[in-house]
Structure 1
Amino acid sequence: MSDVRTRPLLLRNRDFAKVWTAQVMAQGAFRMLQVGLVWWIVSHVAAERRGLATGLLMVLGTLPAALLVPVVARVLARHTGRAVLRGTTLAAAGVAAALAVWAVLGAVPLAAVYPVALALAVCQAFFDPCIPTSVAALVEAEDIESATAVNLATLSLAGLAGAFTAPLLVERTGLAGLVLGCAACYAISGTAAGLARFRPPQDPPASTPAPRRRRLRAILAELPLLRSILLCLAAVNLFSTAVFVIFPLYTKSVLHADATTFALLEAGLGVGTLLGALSGKHLTGRATSVGAVCVTGFALALALPGLFPHRPAVIGALAMAGWCVGAVGVRFVALFQRAVPAADKPGFFALMQAMIGATFPVASLVFGLLGDHLSPQTLCLVQAVGVLPAACALYALRGRERALAAAPPTETTLLEGTA
């Protein structure tokens, strides 16, 4: 038994490995489409007001996660993880394939890609929170933190692969090749998810009252520390998300470079995030203390491209920023996995996705509009200054996390307030 436990989780749990494959393919496809369409707009479509055009695309790509949270929570609570993962990815494959056929037959107008981006974002709004919600149905309790680290590292790996491939694919095969590749990835994802077996939830002992699913507002009301952490993370994302709008413009107008350089910048961010996700669980200290340090490091990394507009320095800065994001993500999601009662996890992770994701469309639109009036270097400095208050707020929460660790919540105690 000990020999089995020493093997990597992906090798000793086949069902988790299948869901991991589904995650890599789906999240890689979505990231590929986002980055590829942004580069297609900046390089081949929009000669003027590129910031607004790319900002609007990012708004449509992130808005569903914020608006659909009640629907997502109900769907995740009522349907199996396998059904949600398989259904959303196969639907996304069909949408991407339809756009690919259009691109093969003739030129696709810019207005046509916006509804496609919106439809795929709707699918992703269900897929993304379903991954952490399904962890308990795939792995043993002692593997939750390892599974969380693998999932976040997978997100980084998928983002890296998709972001690096996308601009190069656009330059070599055009829009048709980009969306056809996305459709294939989604189809593989749906197939892999459909082959995985999810364990049914364990029934509580007869002497223990069955936990009730509660309204989304009640979940956060019973978890004030986690609510405060989510607000801090949402504040960070309000400024950090802008990298997806700023750096295509930065590549064109500051570095005066091509798709290869843009791919390298995306790769730097992706490699850093992957390394951060893999190493985050080894950092010592409370999650809030580690988070405060990492967010501060993230701010410093964002400031560097604004001060030193040289390609190696920018790639290194983005790698550092990615590492900070990946490391802090592992610590906080692992904390959430252990602190949130099982019955509340579908609602909580849907809320988490919505609270963090709600800032994405705002940031995309605001920074997109600013990108048509301010230099990308100035916007980098605005980002850096903007995330520092969140670092201070996380550091102030360390005492409350210590109290949570001293008296960890259980399903029974957390539900007492709603009886």
Structure 2
Amino acid sequence: MPLPNAFRALAHRNYRLFLVGQGVSMMGTWMQTTGLSWLVYKLTNDSFLLGLVSFCGQIPAFFLSPLAGVMSDRFDRRRTLFVTQTISMIQAVSLVALTWTGHIEIWQIIALSAVLGMVNAFDMPTRQAFLSDMAPTRVDLPNAIALNSSMFNLSRLIGPVIGGAILARWGATACFLANAISYTAVIAALAAMTNLPIRVAPRLGRVSSGLAEGFKYAFGFAPIRALLMMIAMVSLLGMPISTLLPVFAKDVLHGEAQTFGYLLAASGAGALTGALYLANRRSVVGLGKPIGGAAVTFGASMIAFSFSQSVLLSCGILLIAGFSMLLTLAGCNTLLQTIVDDDKRGRVMSLYAMAFMGTVPVGSLLAGTLANQFGAPLAARINGVLCIVGAAAFILRLPALRKQVLPIYQRVGLVPPITAAVEAVAELQAAPEDA
């Protein structure tokens, strides 16, 4: 039977396997994240070290993701994911052993976070590019991306709640153990996949040549460049606020581990709603305006959250923040994967990972420093204002960017030729008003 529009990518068996396996694994990841953040703050009572742990766990993506993109375009993506998921499991087992024996120290947490960061630098761009192998049609790919975001944020909703309950009852060790076990689901899903499309790897020559070609292609085309800059801005200014949630939970809202879990879950619920909104869209055409509006809303939500003294109100604000953040980041990802050339997909996705994950550690370190000096609420306000300014700049450029992607939409069949002509005329007529 035909699937509803919001779930049309599930018609592909390999994608169904991936979604289930990855969903279980991501719930375990959020349990570990919940336990690790609380453990760091409990051991040190230092918001700067919270930012430092996040920095060490994500900064490898900034340096290694471009290399990972070249590898993604050259090598078998499923095999690469087998390796990255296995190493991630070993990292979780190491945390279990250290906390179980009572020998855990902050330098060990930082070192293991850095290891996981290096693994994720190769895992994330490969996983994003692998979506086109599991849902190979251009029509289904945006829906696959949106459902993948839905799965991520459903796990973000469920994982912290379960993680908070496990943390309160059995401690951080149990959170790490749950994550280690959860990796078996995604490894089994990868092993069960069949009939994946055979990709002919391009002859890229030297790695440096492949890197240079990828950078030139991405930053030489204004729409791709603008989307990457939007992702980098939101990740730099907005995502690091999650690093400070233990500070808000304990010092501002005067709660405990369960309160921290509620805040994470509220943000995850909003993001899940945003992902379902994207999944229900029939086309990516016209998505630029909602992305810009969502970025403005996200900045305003951060400012509002910084003033809240109520757990219930804070959860409500984070619900809106999660929705707008997801719509901005996943919307940009969807547009990128729609307009990018197939032979450069891995390298563009590596730049996406670089913008998404690579800038977060810098922002986390900055947010941790600002929180130490001026308090977490002021740090959130500063980042919120800067996010609104950056979103406004993106919105002003939308008319020009829309004209540049219109021929691509027409070429891949998303916009009929007559519609493209009407859109072009409308843009020309609206140009004086936009100016």
Q: Same fold by TM (over 0.5)?
A: yes
Deviations 1:97-137 (A, max 9, x none): 13312322333122212111111222222222222201221
1:53 paired to 2:49 = yes
Match of 1:363 in 2: 363
Cα distance in 2 for residues equivalent to 1:331 and 1:110: 36
Cα distance change of structure 1 residues 77 and 140 upon mapping to structure 2, 3 Å threshold: closer
Q: What does 1:69-88 align with in structure 2 at a 5 Å threshold?
A: 69-88=65-84
Residue of 142, 145, 157 corresponding to 1:145 = 142
Match of 1:348 in 2: 348
Equivalent residues, number: 401
Cα distance in 2 for residues equivalent to 1:10 and 1:286: 21
Deviations 1:6-58 (A, max 9, x none): 4844653221011112322343333332332111122x3113xx111111110
Q: Tell me which amino acid in the other structure corresponds to 1:79.
A: F
- Greater Cα shift, 349-358 or 270-279: 349-358
Q: Tell me which amino acid in the other structure corresponds to 1:112.
A: Q
Q: Tell me which amino acid in the other structure corresponds to 1:46.
A: T
Match of 2:248 in 1: 250
Measured after TM superposition, the shift of residue 79 of structure 1 is: 2.2
Q: Tell me which amino acid in the other structure corresponds to 1:178.
A: C
Residue of 108, 111, 114 corresponding to 1:115 = 111
Deviations 1:129-184 (A, max 9, x none): 22220122112412112111101112212222333333332232223212111111
Cα distance change of structure 1 residues 376 and 70 upon mapping to structure 2, 3 Å threshold: closer
Cα distance in 2 for residues equivalent to 1:114 and 1:281: 37
Match of 2:267 in 1: 269
Q: Tell me which amino acid in the other structure corresponds to 1:29.
A: G
Q: Is the 8 A contact 1:66 1:357 kept in 2?
A: yes
Q: Is the 8 A contact 1:306 1:377 kept in 2?
A: yes
Q: Tell me which amino acid in the other structure corresponds to 2:384.
A: A
For structure 1, the residue ranges without an aligned partner over 5 or more in a row are: 205-209, 412-419
Cα distance in 2 for residues equivalent to 1:263 and 1:353: 26
Match of 2:34 in 1: 35
Match of 1:128 in 2: 124
For structure 2, the residue ranges without an aligned partner over 5 or more in a row are: 205-209, 413-435
Residue of 156, 160, 170 corresponding to 2:157 = 160
Structure 2 length as normaliser, TM-score?
0.86
Q: The residue matched to 1:4 in structure 2 has which SS?
A: coil
Cα distance change of structure 1 residues 160 and 130 upon mapping to structure 2, 3 Å threshold: farther
Structure 1 length as normaliser, TM-score?
0.89
Match of 2:320 in 1: 320
Cα distance in 1 for residues equivalent to 2:66 and 2:332: 23
Measured after TM superposition, the shift of residue 211 of structure 1 is: 8.9
Cα distance change of structure 1 residues 403 and 155 upon mapping to structure 2, 3 Å threshold: same
The RMSD of aligned alpha carbons is 2.4
Q: Tell me which amino acid in the other structure corresponds to 1:305.
A: F
Cα distance in 1 for residues equivalent to 2:314 and 2:195: 43
Residue of 211, 223, 226 corresponding to 1:225 = 223
- Greater Cα shift, 380-389 or 157-166: 157-166
Cα distance in 1 for residues equivalent to 2:347 and 2:395: 27
Cα distance change of structure 1 residues 118 and 25 upon mapping to structure 2, 3 Å threshold: farther
Cα distance in 1 for residues equivalent to 2:379 and 2:297: 18
Q: What does 1:250-399 align with in structure 2 at a 5 Å threshold?
A: 250-282=248-280, 286-399=286-399
Q: The residue matched to 1:397 in structure 2 has which SS?
A: helix
Cα distance in 1 for residues equivalent to 2:227 and 2:10: 33
Q: Is the 8 A contact 1:136 1:144 kept in 2?
A: yes
> Percentage identity across aligned positions?
20
Deviations 1:281-314 (A, max 9, x none): 5569733211111111112211112223211111
Measured after TM superposition, the shift of residue 363 of structure 1 is: 0.9
Q: What does 1:180-191 align with in structure 2 at a 5 Å threshold?
A: 180-191=177-188
